[in-house]
């Protein structure tokens, strides 16, 4: 990870990253027609899709959630650079890439410190041609081999000790062949342990049940979960 400091801003670059600080400037992105859409996530703060020099990226700003987010939208208490959310997520993504696990490649992060607080953004490569699991299930059911494949992917992350803090159906992307995990904010490397691994799986199951109630016609049923577990236990 390469680090560049300018006044109160710190730019973090992943290895071989072409990113520049202007990539985080919304006005520069608009003037150059580099904004190529945004995520269709149900949250109130979608990520921006970027296209720069023919390459596709995702720019995500860190927002506070829950009750604190209603009072202070995106400012966090300054904990030291290496404990900021952007620094930790970028570093984790670099570790995930080194483990050759299926996730988006890290590009850069920017941290803007203002006294005792900071704001931050993260850029990753965009997985073009993918849709999230909810979007996929809105169109058609997943086949038995695909559910087994998903379970196998989750097992790979767990065996490697990768903890995903928000494992839900919208943070799983798939195309016709591959399955990826995205959004590792607040994730970390842990010693493999059945307790947190089971909690991760339980969180995903709750997410699928919630989406089945929220999205009309979602092509998911409880028996699909047993197929996922079959792949996970293999």
| Tokens found for residue 134 | 């909810």
Instruction: Go through the chain and tell me how many residues it has.
Output: 234
Residue pair 61/53 in contact (Cβ under 8 Å)? The answer is no
Grouping H, G, I as helix, E, B as strand and the rest as coil, residue 15 is coil
Residue pair 22/35 in contact (Cβ under 8 Å)? The answer is no
Angle between helices 144-159 and 222-233 (to 10 degrees): 50
Q: Would you please indicate which residues are annotated as catalytic (active-site) residues?
A: 166
| Tokens found for residue 137 | 């299930």
First and final CA of the chain: distance in angstroms?
Answer: 35
Q: What's the helix, strand, coil split of the chain in %, to 5?
A: 40, 25, 35
- Whole-number Å distance between alpha carbons of 18 and 15: 9
Nearest alpha-carbon partner for 62 in 124, 122, 106: 122
Q: What is the DSSP letter of 9?
A: E
């Amino acid at each position: 990870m390469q680090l560049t400091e300018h006044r109160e801003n710190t730019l973090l670059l992943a290895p071989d990253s072409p990113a520049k600080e202007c990539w985080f400037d919304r006005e520069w992105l608009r003037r150059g027609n580099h904004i190529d859409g945004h995520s269709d996530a149900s949250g109130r703060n979608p990520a921006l899709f970027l296209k720069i020099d023919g390459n596709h990226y995702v720019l995500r700003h860190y927002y506070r959630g829950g009750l604190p987010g209603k009072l202070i939208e995106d400012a966090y208490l300054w904990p030291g650079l290496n404990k900021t959310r952007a620094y930790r997520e970028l570093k984790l993504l670099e570790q995930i890439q080194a483990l050759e696990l299926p996730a988006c490649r890290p590009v850069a992060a920017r941290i803007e410190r203002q006294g005792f607080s900071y704001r931050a953004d993260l850029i990753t490569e965009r997985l073009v041609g993918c849709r999230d699991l909810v979007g996929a299930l809105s169109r058609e059911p997943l086949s038995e081999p695909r559910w087994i494949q998903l379970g196998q992917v989750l097992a790979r992350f767990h065996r490697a000790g990768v903890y995903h803090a928000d494992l839900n159906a919208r943070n799983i992307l798939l195309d016709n062949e591959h399955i990826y995990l995205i959004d590792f904010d607040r994730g970390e490397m842990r010693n493999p342990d059945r307790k947190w691994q089971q909690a991760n799986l339980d969180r995903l199951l709750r997410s699928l049940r919630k989406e089945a109630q929220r999205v009309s016609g979602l092509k998911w049923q409880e028996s699909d979960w047993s197929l996922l577990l079959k792949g996970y236990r293999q």
